[in-house]
């Protein structure tokens, strides 16, 4: 498998999961300019990362990539403990982060492409930041008494949460009082596989 990534983008989640799964893979770091070129657009017409290729097959969409990697290493437990309910819990939190949290960050990162005036962009970013505080509050509550989102062991959802927490810190979203998220973030940063992925992307 080959993972196309940009440092710090949501593709970092797939990179972490590949490390956790212990699967052989190649990493292709691309730039914002490269993802708009014909060669990359042939893999993903949307022009975004992540993309996972295997032979002549390419897979896009972060949630699908995370689950596909986990299914290649079922013994890793990255989709839960093997029960239908456990898998559903992992998918619940991947879906929440992908559809709610990540989407809201999109309005912050891409405000200029959604509204024209500077005032409207500032308002959009401010309102999105407030919404993110509420969303992260839900995640903080889920982590109360649990080291990871779906239980006592890390899952693909936790890799995704780590990525959006990095964004929250970079954008100074007001979640500093959420102690469960802070503890989780420190736990993830101390993980050897997370460190390896971060180092490979030049993030630490």
Are 90 and 179 members of one domain? Answer: yes
Give me the number of domains the chain comprises.
2
Q: Are 58 and 50 spatial neighbours (Cβ–Cβ below 8 Å)?
A: no
The predicted-structure confidence for 179-189, as pLDDT tens digits, reads as follows: 999 999 999 99
Are 68 and 88 members of one domain? Answer: no
Q: Are 28 and 200 spatial neighbours (Cβ–Cβ below 8 Å)?
A: no
Q: What is the pLDDT of residue 101?
A: 98
Are 27 and 95 members of one domain? Answer: no
Are 55 and 108 members of one domain? Answer: no
Give the CATH number of the domain where residue 105 resides.
1.20.1050.10
Q: Which residues pair with 59 in a beta bridge?
A: 52
SS3 of 43-112: the string is CCCCCCCCEEEECCEEEECHHHHHHHHHHHCHHHCCCCCCCHHHHHHHHHHHHHHHHHHHHHHHHHHCHH
Are 63 and 88 members of one domain? Answer: no
Are 6 and 92 members of one domain? Answer: no
Q: What is the pLDDT of residue 61?
A: 97
How far out from the chain centre does Cα 69 lie?
Answer: 14
Tokens 């969303």 — which residue? Answer: 135
List all residues 6 or more positions away from 170 whose beta carbon is below 8 Å from its beta carbon. Answer: none
Are 12 and 47 members of one domain? Answer: yes
**Residues in the chain, pLDDT under 70:** none
Give the CATH number of the domain where residue 53 resides.
3.40.30.10
**What is the span of the domain harbouring residue 26?**
2-76+196-200
Q: What is the pLDDT of residue 19?
A: 98
Are 91 and 158 members of one domain? Answer: yes
Q: What is the pLDDT of residue 7?
A: 96
C-alpha 170/C-alpha 9 separation (Å) is 12
Q: What is the pLDDT of residue 204?
A: 75
Are 6 and 102 members of one domain? Answer: no
Are 103 and 185 members of one domain? Answer: yes
Are 62 and 98 members of one domain? Answer: no
C-alpha 188/C-alpha 192 separation (Å) is 9
Rounded to two decimals, what is the model's pTM?
A: 0.96
Are 123 and 177 members of one domain? Answer: yes
């Amino acid at each position: 498998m080959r993972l196309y990534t940009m440092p710090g983008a949501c593709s970092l989640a797939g990179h972490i999961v590949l490390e956790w799964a212990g699967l052989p893979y190649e990493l292709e770091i691309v730039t914002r300019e490269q993802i708009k070129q014909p060669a990359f657009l042939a893999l993903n017409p949307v022009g975004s990362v992540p993309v996972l290729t295997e032979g002549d097959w390419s897979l896009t969409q972060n949630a699908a990539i995370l689950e596909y990697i986990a299914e290649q290493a079922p013994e890793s437990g990255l989709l839960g403990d093997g029960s239908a309910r456990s898998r559903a819990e992992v998918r619940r939190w991947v879906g929440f982060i992908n559809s709610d949290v990540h989407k809201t960050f999109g309005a912050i990162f891409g405000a200029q492409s959604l509204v024209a005036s500077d005032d409207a962009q500032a308002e959009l970013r401010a309102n999105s930041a407030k919404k993110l505080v509420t969303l992260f509050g839900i995640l903080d509550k889920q982590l109360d008494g649990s080291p990871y989102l779906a239980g006592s062991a890390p899952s693909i959802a936790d890799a995704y949460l780590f990525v959006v927490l990095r964004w929250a810190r970079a954008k100074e979203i007001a979640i500093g009082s959420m102690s469960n998220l802070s503890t989780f973030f420190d736990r993830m940063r101390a993980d050897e596989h997370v460190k390896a992925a971060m180092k490979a992307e030049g993030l630490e």
